[in-house]
Structures are given as C-alpha cells and as structure tokens.
Amino acid sequence: MTIGDQSAEASALYDQFVAAGTCQAILTSFQHLCDSLDIHPTDEEWFYQTLKSKLTNWKANSLWTRLDKRFNHREYAGHKACATTRVLVIGAGPCGLRAAIECKLLGARVVVVEKRDRFSRNNVLHLWPFVIHDLKSLGAKVFYPKFCAGSIDHISIRQLQCVLMKICLLLGVEIYTNVGYEDLQEPSPEVSGEPGNAEQRGWRAKVSPPDHPVSCYDFDVLIGADGKRNTLQGFSRKEFRGKLAIAITANFINHQTTEEARVEEISGDLKAETGIDLENIVYYKDDTHYFVMTAKKQSLLEKGVLLQDHRDTIKLLSRDNVDQQALQNYAREAADVSTNHKLPNLEFAHNHFGQPDIAMFDFTSLFAAENSSRAMERYGRKLLINIVGDSLLEPFWPTGSGCARGFLGSFDAAWAVKSWASGSMSPLQVLAERESVYMLLSQTTPESLSKSFNSYTINPITRYKHCNTQALKCIQVRQLYDTTEII
Ligand code: FAD
C-alpha cells in the first residue's frame, strides 16, 4: 500500500468513526482507525498528540485546531499534572465520561468500565448554557452536527454518551463495555517487606466477568459514576422528600417529516387542556418525539393506568398495579392533545428491551450523598474516591439540572484528583477542599454560576461565583479518611 493509499484509508476510517452512532460502532471504528495508523492508546504517553501527528487530513485538522484551543489550558500543566496517577471510572454515563476526559487531560491513565454494551436511552436532556458551551468546545458539533442547533438546547442521553465517548477515545481513555464494577479490593501486604515490591498488589476492582484484564489494573483514584444506585461504600445518603410526584416519559418515532418539523416544542407549562390532569409536560423534538410529564395520581386512577390506590408509592407503581396498555394510551393522549393533534402517527419508539419506550416512575424522594469524596490507605497505598453525577446528587428533572450539576461535580472531582496528585496537600486537605466545594453544588442555578464560560476550568473558583474552598477544616472531614497511619 502506498503512503497515499494509507492516508486515504485512514481518512475514510476517521469519517466512519465520526459518523458512528452506536456504542459498539464507535469502539470498532476507533479500533480500525488505530490499526490503520499503527498506534495503540496504551502505548502512548499523550495519545492525542500521536494521533494528531498521524491523522492530518483537513477534516481531522479542523477538529484538532478546535480541541487544541481547549486542551492546552494551563491547569493541565502540559498534560503532566497527574502523569503518574491511575484512575478507574465506574460507568460510561454522561458524568463518568466527562470526568474521564478531565482526568485524561491532566495526564492520568484513565480506564472506564461500563456494564452495558449499548447506549439506548432516548430520553432528551435540556442543557444549561454552560454545558452547551462546554460540549461545543469539545467538538460536539463535529460528531453530531444537529447538536443544539439554533435555539434548541437539548440532546438525547444516547447521543450525548456517543459524543463524549468519541472524545474520550481520541484522548486515549480506555473504555471497556460489558464490564461491571462489583467491589473494591484492598492492596496486599508487601511480600518481602520492601515497599514497592513488584508482587505487592495495589488497589484493584472486583469486576464482572471476574477474569477481565481490568481486574489486574492497580489504580490510585476511583470515580463512582454509576448513576443513582451508587455501588460505592462510604457514601451515605440523605433524602429530600416532597409531595407525591409521578413522572411518565414517552418516546415516539420521529419520521422527520415536514409536518412533524412544524410542531412546536413545549418547555414545561401546559398550553392545552388535556383532560387528563397533568402538573406539567415537556416536549422535545430530537431523534425521537420525547415527552415527559408529571401526572396526578387521581387522573391515573380514573384512566385505569393505576389499578388500585395505595399509600405506599412502591406498591402504587409496582408492575402488578399498572395497566401497561392504559399507560400507553394515557401518554399518547397527553402527547396528542398537548401538541394540538399536530403530530401524526404517534408510534412508540423502542427501548433497550425492544418494548415501547414508555416509563412511569416516582420522584417524590430525591437523594444526595452526605459526602462527595473519601480516601483510604492500606500498607502505604493511598486511594482517593470521588462520586459524581446522579450518584452524588440526584436531580429534580423538571429543573433540567442533571447534567449541569453532574458536569460541575465531575470538574470538581478532577480538581481534587489534581490536588491529590500534586503531593502539595495532605489527604485531609484534599478532602476538606472537595467537601467545601460540594456544599455549593445543590444550590447552583444557571444564574448563580459565572457567566464567563470561556474562563471555566476544573478550578472551582472559575465557575462558582461565591466559592470558599476552605469552608471546612481538616478536622471536620477526619471521618472521611480511613487509614492505619497516625494522622
Ligand atoms: P447515568 O446516566 O445513570 O449513567 C450511569 C452509567 O453507569 C450507566 O451507563 C450504567 O449502565 C453504568 N453502570 C451502572 N452500574 C455499573 C456498574 N456496577 N459497573 C459499571 N457500569 C455501571 N438531566 C438534565 O441535565 N436535563 C434534563 O432535562 C433532564 N431530564 C430528565 C428527565 C427524566 C425523566 C430523568 C429521569 C432524568 C433527567 N435528567 C435530566 C437527569 C439525567 O438523565 C442524569 O442526571 C444523567 O443521566 C446522569 O448521568 P450519570 O452519568 O451520573 O449517570
């Protein structure tokens, strides 16, 4: 093959990677691209640089120019700020992937484990302005040209994961799908009594399948981003209980016709009398026609969606107590009436299980972690643990705060990783700073954040308007450091 043929092949593979629309297609096309360029992410100290030097067609160059502007920030210290740090991220949801990007930019080795092998969530997220700015600066429009076009400020979870996964791979983040995190494994004692003996095992993860190579990966930072069911221990949760709130999400196929294109989106208030008593409804036109609504219990009972009334919400919404066909009719009617009957053929899109994409869930109670970080030490080996995203702070969906607060938490976690790796702060100082910043997270609104999005970095003071990184003293976070050392 001539050099010209090789570069034509690499260009074609790059185009396939950029256009890939599923998790597996992204991973496969990336592998083919790397093979054709004869490079491997784990062999390179700063993979992005090597990839950039080998892939020089005009399309790739325009992406590199955009990314360089973003990646050459001084916080990353030339991608050497965390050069000896090894990070494991649990979960390839939006917040896990966003945290992985920042840790990689700091120069760490970053491995992400994701228990699924598909990105299948059609649900559409409304994004706060800084999130849109952030994603655009990471090249989101290159990977998904429709991203936040014009006044539209939303994206499906699935598309967002695809965009973030592509950026992760270009940076050299290692992503393993079909690998579930199960538990943390403590380091083994030194075999010969010599610190750093090769046989000494560091902090590792028990994963499923158990023989996956990730089970032998020693890491110093663990980031939990596995969604609201957080599996990591040591993060007790506090509950915020409101009045009973039942949400229904429904996705209908978008046939992309002119007729459908004309139908206006709805961003919260009911504009039409639906006759089925909703507290609010949101309609976004994306890959699907996405509706999310808060329904009143009485109306669900009257329409036969809920069979029996129960005080206990778990019983009330249990499978046995829900008539699935009536639920579909209810959502279809709400969608039809709220869009003034302008959406023809309301045909359900399919979910992960090949079933009509409709779900009903309770969001009466929301949970937030008591602490965002902790640290452990065994046999001289230290581990920093952070949780981010829904694991840290479950969002109240009508405010669209999920990804915004999720990304802020991911940046804050990356800042803690940087402080941890610098060695200039003690573990307790890192934890005290991280928890001081976490105190601000649940209060953030688009208005309370700095408007200077161009200045946003992982340093919290560039984002939160009133940020005291020393609000808590080391003594107040002492319980978050589990160590055999005398401190
Ligand atoms: P998730 O998206 O839950 O991802 C977690 C990942 O971890 C998943 O891929 C999962 O498979 C994986 N995982 C789980 N366990 C393991 C394990 N043991 N090992 C390995 N992998 C594992 N947010 C907005 O910003 N705007 C909105 O408008 C909005 N609307 C919403 C509407 C509704 C109805 C709901 C329910 C939520 C809404 N949200 C919205 C919230 C948003 O969806 C979440 O905040 C966001 O998806 C959280 O991302 P995450 O990465 O923390 O977790």
Nearest ligand 1 atom, CA 182? 18
Q: Which residues, in sequence order, are bridge partners of residue 292?
A: 249, 282
Q: Residues 433, 461: one domain? A: yes
Question: 487 lies in a domain?
Answer: no
Above 60 in pLDDT, residue 269?
Answer: no
Predicted pLDDT of residue 225: 98
Q: So what's the ipTM on this one?
A: 0.97
Residue whose CB lies within 8 A of the most ligand 1 atoms, among 114, 364, 441, for a mutation test:
114
State whether 355 and 320 are in the same domain.
yes
Structure tokens at 138: 């990471």
Counting from 1 in the atom list of ligand 1, the atom nearest the Cα of 95 is: 51
- Closest atom of ligand 1 to CA, residue 91: 7
| 233 and 269 housed in the same domain | no
Per the CB < 8 A criterion, the answer to whether 183 and 205 are in contact is yes
Q: Which residue has the higher pLDDT, 56 or 411?
A: 411
Name the residue with the closest Cα to ligand 1, atom 3. 227
The Cα-based distances of 294 to 57, 92, 100, 282 in angstroms read: 49, 28, 34, 9
Residue 192's pLDDT is 54
Q: Under DSSP, is residue 369 helix (H, G, I), strand (E, B) or coil?
A: strand
| Residue 174: inside a domain | yes
Give the per-residue pLDDT at 271: 46
- Please write the tens of the pLDDT for every residue from 351-389: 989 999 999 999 888 899 999 999 999 999 999 999 999
Write down which residue in 363, 398, 431 finishes a domain: 363
Kindly give the distance from the C-alpha atom of residue 389 to the centroid of ligand 1, in angstroms, as a whole number.
Answer: 7
Residue nearest to atom 2 of ligand 1 (CA): 93
212 with 118, same domain? Answer: yes
**Whether the CB of 226 sits within 6 Å of ligand 1:** yes
For residue 45, what pLDDT band results from cuts at 50, 70 and 90?
A: confident
Q: Is the CB of 224 under 6 A from ligand 1?
A: no
Specify if 78 maps to a domain: no
pLDDT of residue 280: 87
Query: Alpha-carbon distance 350 to 92, whole Å?
Result: 21
Domain boundary among 363, 392, 417: 363
Establish if 77 belongs to a structural domain: no
Helical H runs in 119-182?
A: 129-137, 140-143, 157-171
Does residue 44 have a pLDDT over 90? no
In 3D space, the residue among 450, 424, 279 whose CA is nearest the CA of residue 364 turns out to be 279
- 335 alpha carbon to ligand 1 midpoint, in Å? 24
Indicate which atom in ligand 1 lies nearest the CA of residue 180: 19
Q: Same structural domain for residues 136 and 260? A: no
CB within 8 A of 408, min separation 6: which ones? 441, 444, 449, 463
Pairing of strands 86-90, 221-224: parallel
Q: 161 alpha carbon to ligand 1 midpoint, in Å?
A: 10
Atom of ligand 1 nearest to the CA of 392: 52
Question: What's the pLDDT at 13?
Answer: 95
Using an 8 Å Cβ cutoff, are 355 and 461 in contact? no
CA 442 to ligand 1 center in whole angstroms: 17
Let me know if residue 342 belongs to a domain: yes
Residue 124 in any domain: the answer is yes
Q: 130: Cβ below 6 Å to ligand 1?
A: no
Q: Which of 360, 365, 367 is nearest to 295 (CA)?
A: 360
Q: What percent of the chain has pLDDT over 70?
A: 94
Whether residue 143 has pLDDT greater than 50: yes
- Same domain for 230 and 251? no
Regarding the beta carbon of 125 and ligand 1, being less than 6 Å apart is answered yes
Same-domain status, 229 and 332: no
Quick check: is 379 in a domain?
A: yes
Do 113 and 230 share a domain, yes or no? yes
Q: Domain of 31?
A: 3-72
**Does the C-beta of 95 come closer than 6 Å to ligand 1?**
yes
94 lines ligand 1 (CB under 6 A): yes
Given 363, 392, 414, which residue is the final one in a domain? 363
Same domain, 409 and 358: no
Residues 6+ apart with CB under 8 A from 235: 224, 369, 370, 371, 374, 387, 391
Look at the chain and report how many structural domains it folds into.
Answer: 3
Summarize the confidence of residues 209-213 as an average pLDDT.
Answer: 97
Report d(CA 220, CA 218) in Å as an integer: 7
At 266, is the pLDDT very low, low, confident or very high (cuts 50, 70, 90)? confident
Ligand 1 pocket member 225 (CB < 6 A): yes
Q: Is 129 in the pocket of ligand 1 (CB under 6 A)?
A: no
pLDDT in tens, 436-449: 999 999 999 999 99
The pLDDT tens digits of the residues spanning 48-76 come to 999 999 999 889 999 999 999 988 888 99
Looking at residue 270, its pLDDT comes to: 56
Residues 98 and 230 in one domain: yes
**CA 402 to ligand 1 center in whole angstroms:** 8
pLDDT confidence of 198, banded at 50, 70, 90? low
Indicate whether 252 pLDDT > 90: yes
* 37 pLDDT above the threshold of 90: yes
| Distance in Å, CA 114 to ligand 1 centroid | 12
The pLDDT score that the predictor gives to residue 485 is 73
Give the confidence band of 399 by pLDDT, cuts at 50, 70, 90. confident
- Domain containing residue 104: CATH number: 3.50.50.60
| Residue 122, domain member (yes or no) | yes
Measured in Å, residue 155 CA sits from the centre of ligand 1 at 13
266 vs 124, residue with greater confidence: 124
Distance 8 CA to ligand 1 centre (A): 38
* pLDDT number for residue 275: 60
Q: How confident is the model over 234-248, as a mean pLDDT?
A: 90
Residue 228 and residue 289 share a domain: no
Secondary structure of residue 135 in the 3-state scheme: helix
Q: Which of 152, 217, 397 to mutate to test the pocket of ligand 1 (most atoms within 8 A of CB)?
A: 397
Q: In this predicted structure, what is the pLDDT of residue 425?
A: 96
Confidence of residue 218 (pLDDT cuts 50, 70, 90): very high
Cα 93 to ligand 1 centre (Å)? 6
Exposed (0-12), middle (13-18) or buried (19+): which is 207, by Cβ within 10 Å? buried
Question: What's the mean pLDDT in 250-279?
Answer: 80
Tell me the pLDDT band of 193, cut-offs 50, 70 and 90: low
Task: Find, among 161, 61, 60, 169, the residue nearest to 116 by Cα.
Answer: 161
292 CA distance to ligand 1 middle (Å): 16
Question: Does residue 467 have a pLDDT over 80?
Answer: yes
Pocket of ligand 1 contains residue 397 by CB under 6 Å? yes
Looking at the DSSP assignment, which residues form a beta bridge with residue 207? Answer: 181
Q: 187 CB under 6 A from ligand 1? A: no
The reply to whether 354 and 431 lie within a common domain is no
